[in-house]
Structures are given as structure tokens and as C-alpha cells.
Amino acid sequence: MSANMFGAEDTVLQVDNEEWLSEPREVEDLPLPHDFLWGTATAAYQIEGGASQDNKGKSIWDTFSHLEPSRTNGANGDVACDHYNRVAEDVDLMASYGVDTYRFSISWSRVIPFGGRDDTVNEDGVLFYNKLVDLLLSRKIIPIVTLYHWDAPQELYDRYGAFLNTSEFRADFERFARLCFSRFGDRVTKWVTFNEPYIISIFGHHSGVLAPGHNAASGHDTRTEPWRVGHTIIVSHAAAVHIYATEFQPTQNGSITIVLNGHFYEPWDANSIEHQAGAQRRLEFYIGWFADPIFLGTDYPAEMRARLGSRLPEFSPDEMALLRNTASTNAYYGMNHYSTKFARALPDPPVEDDCTGNVEELATNNKGKMVGPVSGMAWLRVAPDGFRKLLNWVWNRYHLPIVITENGCPCPGESNMSLEQAINDDFRVGYFGLYLDAISRAIYEDGVPVHGYCAWSLMDNFEWSAGYSARYGITHVDYDTLLRTPKKSALYLKRTFNERRKKHE
């Protein structure tokens, strides 16, 4: 799941659902293309458990979630949803929802416990993912496989700082990618290299609220470290794309891309050129940072170069050639999106380690208007119009078809509800309906090619620094018994996709 605003705003709110249910705006159940794919998404560390089972190695999240004092609300992913031992049950659950596709990630340290290019492969880990892929295909569910969803092998940080050493990390990631393409690529045809590089870079290596927890207080250089991490991800992505395109795609006939997250940003003062520019700059610092080099084969956005100067790494001639050669190989734009914010341009000079483009993110504008009703997390507000605008911004800039690889929300107060209350998740149903309407409008009124949608998440799970206090699932999980219970939103999604696609025919 996208950890867009972990930190001060990482708060589970306890507010009455009536605030949302009384909102005047209604879902219209607008049509979607007949071949539009829908499914759900998860991440390995958030659901698998089996933290040391069958020779799995330690990841940075195994380390981070056990730190004292706790950085993860007193929780860890040692057991999580026990998906590792309940995989057949969970695939049956997906099939009962009528999904077309399932996006999941491979735990690097489960298949290569120490992670390195010369380290031993764990065949037990390979067997697990083979089993998962085969189960999905037996139920006619298309796997979308993410290679990296935040859980680097701890050993790579211990050896050379992982992302902080571009050449070493790239070489190890290339080996990991090759292993996955060779072992699973005869059946997996949709690949994602990295999930949300912005979060890896900023929340892992600037604020430090996510693993590995690097920040200024822990002695790390937050002026430069996030940008080096981002650079490593971009180059490693392009290297993996090149490997797939030249060594595997000709026989496997699959596709590959990266998944980027991002809010949409409205200017804090809609009539101010300064704040309009601030909103655009925030989009470039958040999304363009990665998307311009990866999808356009160009340097970082000019505003980033101008503002960051020597803090931003330079692409070598070989790296730039690699980016240019692989830009057109990216099959689609993978978008994780949850909410919209107002962007308020701040007066210069920025703080020394600024990573926003000197822009403040707010939930209200200069007139005190809220961006939308608040969900169970303070940073996540319901703003479907912003979603539609972001779809247009991405399409107009990159001209790639879009697949929504994550979208969803927790209901207000959900973590304190009884089972009966939690499965009647009307807030989430309303959120999904409005965001699907926004996709329909983007497709039919704006001409934006959106090809699929993965709801976050298949089930309640370990939500990173929030632990188990935030529930995003369309399936309720009892963390004591691990019993799965479908929520109203799961049944809504099954029905609405069938009906919306029929409307197009």
C-alpha cells in the first residue's frame, strides 16, 4: 500500500461514517470498457508472514518492525495474514470475487536469502511462488508480479548500503530479476520492477518513518541520500527492463513497467500564479522525478535540476543511453493513487534538505475549503475529481496507457469496529464508486486510455508504520484467528465491474 504521508499525518481517525453517508454526491455507475481488467493487490511483507520459515532470509522490514522503541505501532509482519501457509484459501477467495487479475510481490529474501548475485537461491521460496502462480492460472486469474515492494534483503544494506551504491545494487537486482524471469516468466506475462520509488527514497531515506529508517537524527545525509536512492532505482529499473526485453520477452511475450504513486495537487490559491506553479512543481518533484527519465528517456525535470543543483546525481552517458533505449519498452504507466492535496508554494529559501520543491501540502485551501471527506487516515481524503485530473496529467505528459495498480481507503473508525460493523463498509463502497466513475469520465470524456484497476487491498494486513491499526481490505481479517470475511465492498466490486462493463457493450 502507498504510504504517501506516513509521519505526523499517519493517524487512524475515529469519526462517524454519517459524515460520508450524508455527502450529497452520488455514485453514477458509469460504464467501463468490456475488456477492462479488475483485480486486487497485496505486498509480500504485508500478508505473507512466515518470516523465517523454509529458509527465508531477513529483509529490512524484518529488522525495522522489531526495533525498540517500535516504529510500527508495536506490530510486525512475522505472521501477518499467514498467506504463506494459506495461499490456496486466498486464491479461492479471489476467485469468489470474480477478479480478472491479482497484483502481488515477490519477497527477494525469500528466494535469495542474502540477496546478492553470488548468493544461494532458496528453492523453497521459488516453490512457493510457483505454487501461487499456478493456483492463480488454474482459476483464470492473471498474475501481475512486482519484483520489489520495499523489502530489500537486510544483508545488502549490511554489505554496501543497498540503494546507496548504484553499481552494486544494480548488479544484485539484475540477478534477482533474471531469476524471477527465468523461473516464473513462462507463465507470468505482466511484470513490475519497483513499487513506489518515491516512498522508498523519501520515507525510507529522508524522514526515516519506513525501513530502513534513515534520517538526519540517525546520522544520515538527508540532503543527498534520497536522490542517490532514487537514481539507483531508475537505473536498476532500466537495467531490468533491458534484460527482459532482450533475453526473455521474445519467447515469453510479456510486458514490464514500474509503478509510481502520487497525489494530485491543486493550487492552495487557485487564482495565484505562484501557487499554480507550486502545484505543478510538486507533481514534478513527486512523479516527474522518476517518470521523466523512465518513460521519456530524458534527464530529471528542469525544476529539480535548478533547485537541487549538485544534490541531484548526474546520469552517466551509459546510463542515459540505457534510459533512452528502454523508455519505449515500458508497457504502461502503473499508477498508485489514493488522494489529492492542496499545494502551497513557500517563500525562498527552502530548508537545507528540502525534498518537496519548497511546497507545503495541505488538506484545505486559502478559503478554508477541504479537499474532501476524510477517511480512516488523516492524509487520505475522498477527492475523485483530483484523480481524474491526475489521469489526464499523466496521459498528457507520458502518452502511455494507464493501469491503476492501487487505490482504496480505510473507513473512519474501522479498526475499532465489530466484525458486523466492519463488513458493512459503506464508506469504502462510496469511495470505490466515485473513483471508478472518475476513471469512466477520463476514458470516455477525456480520451485517457485506462486499461485496468487493482483495489487496495485484497485483505486487511500489516500497514507498515501503522501496524494493524489501519484496515484497507475488501476482506476483513481477524488477526487472532486469521479468519477471512468478505466485506460489502468485495461484493460491490464484483457486481459493479460486471455491470459497468456490460454498459459498454
Name the residues annotated as catalytic. 196, 406
| Residue 116: how many other CB atoms lie within 10 Å | 18
Q: Please tell me the distance from the alpha carbon of residue 70 to that of residue 114, in angstroms, as a whole number.
A: 25
Could you give the CA distance from residue 495 to residue 166 in angstroms, rounded to a whole number? 46
Measured distance CA(459)–CA(471) in Å, rounded: 8
Count CB neighbours of 386 within 10 A. 22
Three-state SS at 251: helix
Residue 153 CB neighbours (<10 A):
27
Q: Cα(240)–Cα(327) distance, rounded to whole angstroms?
A: 12
Distance (Å, whole) CA 29 – CA 302: 41
Backbone φ and ψ of 143, nearest 5°: -80, 135
Q: Which amino acid is at 188?
A: V
Comparing CA positions, the residue from 26, 28, 23 lying closest to residue 444 is 28
Q: Do residues 345 and 265 lie in contact, with contact meaning Cβ atoms separated by under 8 Å?
A: no
**Rounded Cα distance, 361 and 354, in Å:** 13
Task: Tell me how far apart the terminal alpha carbons of the chain are, to the nearest angstrom.
Answer: 33
In angstroms, the CA 335 to CA 387 distance is 11
- Cα distance between residue 99 and residue 377, in whole Å: 27
Query: What CA–CA distance (Å, rounded) separates 115 from 269?
Result: 48
**Eight-state DSSP code of residue 69:** S
